Structure 1
């Protein structure tokens, strides 16, 4: 397994291969994606180091424990990165993404850059043959999109104008899903290259500051930076739903939120929505593989550091996939 021990520093560590406990399976990760959380870890900005990064990936089930479905052995599966106990107050209230007992792969517990990973069988979802490995490594943004769809449905919000702050994989895939549901979507993104990607996907896109004032009944901030969060709140009409997807350092203007009756919601992940996400990819509603700019064959530490370093270039890849041995 490979772990980040410090900023820009990987180390290879040999550990015994895990054995599945009752209800668990062991997965051999074959491909993983590099997402924003992994880059925070790479740059030394994660709360926990050392850590084995990555959580968005696909693998093969190599071993099945007692009380797990034996038919899973040999299956291609994606992994829901959130460990959910199912019994704590958060899980019982329908918020498994913030389970009080479990962890989050690659963020609070070791992730998928390992030869084998033991997981509860309930957290692996078989992948249809029509979904390729690269698409399966960009599935978390789609699962989060379905979580957002569920929150919209629970509030009985009628599709209207939606603004997404940030034109990375999260913004582009969630934007496409919202557009499919009838929302008028605009991506706000400083990069001209990423705005062009949005246009190619049929989404409107604008640069920060190009528009001003209240203009959206749904705002999703994927930026995880203070200017993005401020722009999200500034664009929300009174009564709007504003969703934060990144750990922005911005101070939230509580008084303004109160006076405009803004519904402010933080979403940590797409726990429980991976089957929905796979179905949307399998039926052609979304094509996350189209956002993969680079693929890296990983055989040693040098390959790994080269792949992560590619995201430090002036124009980084939108998404990278690591093919593991």
Structure 2
């Protein structure tokens, strides 16, 4: 059976995530205990006593450590991906699943990424909004109309009818108003700390490119579907180049989901807190088998889901 793994991104985190997995599976413990990120991954992920989990520089290593550990737990049970993708931050977990990064490197790398993104967003009065019920052309046109007020760009093409825009606050609010005039059903402000996946994050992309010079990336052993491409790398761009580009350009998640199905996957397994990506799959590919794994109970239920897929 060919399984596509989809890894959750920032925003799905919550206190308590992974606590049951840490208690039950040594492979999960190794992922959280093996990285040096300057703070206690377990304390922030499990209890978050100081309210740090929602701060980007803490969120990112906690999320990737969770994903790495759960990937290893599933691998021990013989559940491995035939293709992988992730939402924004989740792309790093997908690269780990594909053998392009080792566990320690992946977690420590996103700790740097989180700090670089936080630094790039400082001093920018920014906003992000989810535009619901509008197509790409409508949202792009709304952003173009509002661009006289500042930077505003589509930054996440999540699934049909759900597109996120981001940039400078006044321009984002204007673009949202224009989108509604053009027929969008609703525009929802997102609780984020910066204009992620817009050109305003170029300083973070530049910092990452320098950092990546110290990292030894391996050739992926399965297809990885890249956010900024909406599919596999066909042009021969290096992984560092794509990751540097990713942080400052739109995420084509809907396209990655469609590309995963086109590769012949029989089902998709979402890895990470929450079920947002499973929702994207259901809206993009109605009826396509998808299962979300977050807890030890989910790990135990996964074999039955896979049996049902085999039975058709």
With the length of structure 1 as denominator, give the TM-score of the two structures.
0.28
Structure with the larger strand share: 1
Bigger Cα Rg: 1
The structure in which a higher percent of residues are helix is: 2
Greater RCO (CA < 8 Å, at least 6 residues apart): 2
Q: TM-score, normalised by structure 2?
A: 0.29
